[in-house]
């Protein structure tokens, strides 16, 4: 199985291009889920939804759709990971109605979290339900040293069956910062080495493409064989496609899947393409 998506399901820029012209914000998740079968749940990183919102999300997606919600930054960035058990339990309880639609939860750690904190990371993950798949993203260069620190981290992930999240920002940093969107993205996205490894059964790739869609083909070409290989091994990859402002992220995903040409790689049509053209309305 292959899960494909973008870092968000809602964008006013997608109305009339991917979503229908009259698509309202409350309809965007439903229309998004007709195209993709997964999404990065970045919204949970910054704020908690209301219980009513969680129930609406559950009702607006098909049974096969998978969210990958991020653990809130108040745990991963702003608080000591080992001192938040009661608040973490409340957060997990909030998302219980969506458990059947959660493919993984994602723990994104700050650049300040070095390999010295591996015991702290391990203690925190013990607070999570064992049946809730977990992906971990690290940004400290000590986790990319190809030495003892990285080996210990990867061994920890493999032992616990946690997925190492791979963020491929090479395409983003391959182009000059000549627009406000690229400047902002290059400032915010991590410029870390890419180490390709499946530490568990559901590797996560966050691909941040360059603004020229066609130019991405050469940059993501090595991923095509890697994804095919993982699928042939019975793994379940998650692929999330970003661009600097995510204006064309769905087009990048569609292009990649067409190039992948694998039976497991299926995207639905854009709802905008199913609308009658303006001329057909008269």
Contact 69, 41 (CB under 8 A): yes
Average pLDDT, the chain: 94
Structure tokens at 94: 């909030």
What confidence score (pLDDT) does residue 171 get? 97
Residue 279 has pLDDT above 80, yes or no: no
Residues 6+ apart with CB under 8 A from 22: none
Q: In what order do the strands lie in the sheet with 204-208?
A: 3-5, 238-242, 204-208, 163-168, 134-137, 102-108, 66-70, 38-41
pLDDT band at 282 (very low <50, low <70, confident <90, very high): very low
CATH (one of 3.40.718.10, 3.20.20.410, 3.40.50.620, 1.20.120.530) for 6-274: 3.20.20.410
Q: Tell me if the pTM is above 0.75.
A: yes
The pLDDT of residue 137 is above 50: yes
What is the rounded average pLDDT of the residues 122-142? 94
Question: What residues pair up with 168 in beta bridges, in sequence order?
Answer: 207
- Reported as a pLDDT band with limits 50, 70 and 90, residue 281 is very low
> SS3 letters for 233-268?
CCCCCEEEEECCCCCCHHHHHHHHHHHHCCCCCCCC
pLDDT band at 80 (very low <50, low <70, confident <90, very high): low
Copy the structure tokens of residue 121. Answer: 């990371």
Q: Residue ranges per domain, the chain?
A: 6-274
């Amino acid at each position: 199985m292959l899960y494909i998506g973008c870092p968000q399901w809602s964008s006013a820029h997608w109305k009339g291009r991917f979503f229908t012209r009259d698509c309202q914000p409350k309809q965007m998740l439903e229309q998004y889920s007709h195209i993709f079968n997964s999404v990065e749940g970045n919204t949970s990183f910054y704020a908690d939804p209301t219980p009513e919102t969680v129930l609406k999300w559950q009702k607006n997606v098909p049974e096969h759709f998978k969210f990958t919600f991020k653990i809130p930054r108040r745990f991963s960035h702003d608080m000591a990971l080992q001192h938040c058990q009661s608040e973490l339990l409340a957060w997990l309880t909030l998302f219980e109605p969506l458990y059947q639609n959660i493919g993984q939860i994602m723990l994104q750690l700050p650049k300040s979290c070095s390999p010295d904190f591996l015991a702290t990371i391990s203690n925190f993950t013990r607070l999570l339900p064992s049946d809730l798949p977990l992906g971990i993203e690290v940004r400290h260069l000590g986790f990319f040293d190809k030495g003892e620190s990285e080996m210990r981290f990867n061994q920890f992930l493999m032992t616990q069956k946690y997925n190492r999240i791979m963020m491929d920002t090479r395409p983003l940093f391959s182009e000059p910062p000549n627009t406000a969107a690229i400047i902002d993205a290059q400032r915010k996205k991590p410029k870390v080495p890419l180490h390709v490894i499946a530490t568990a059964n559901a590797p996560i790739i966050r691909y941040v493409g360059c603004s020229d869609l066609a130019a991405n083909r050469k940059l993501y070409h090595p991923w095509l064989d890697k994804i095919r290989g993982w699928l042939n091994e019975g793994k379940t990859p998650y692929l999330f496609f970003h661009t600097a402002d995510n204006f064309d992220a769905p087009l990048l995903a569609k292009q990649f899947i067409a190039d992948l040409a694998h039976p497991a790689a299926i995207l639905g049509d854009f709802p905008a393409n199913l609308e009658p053209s303006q001329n057909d309305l008269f």
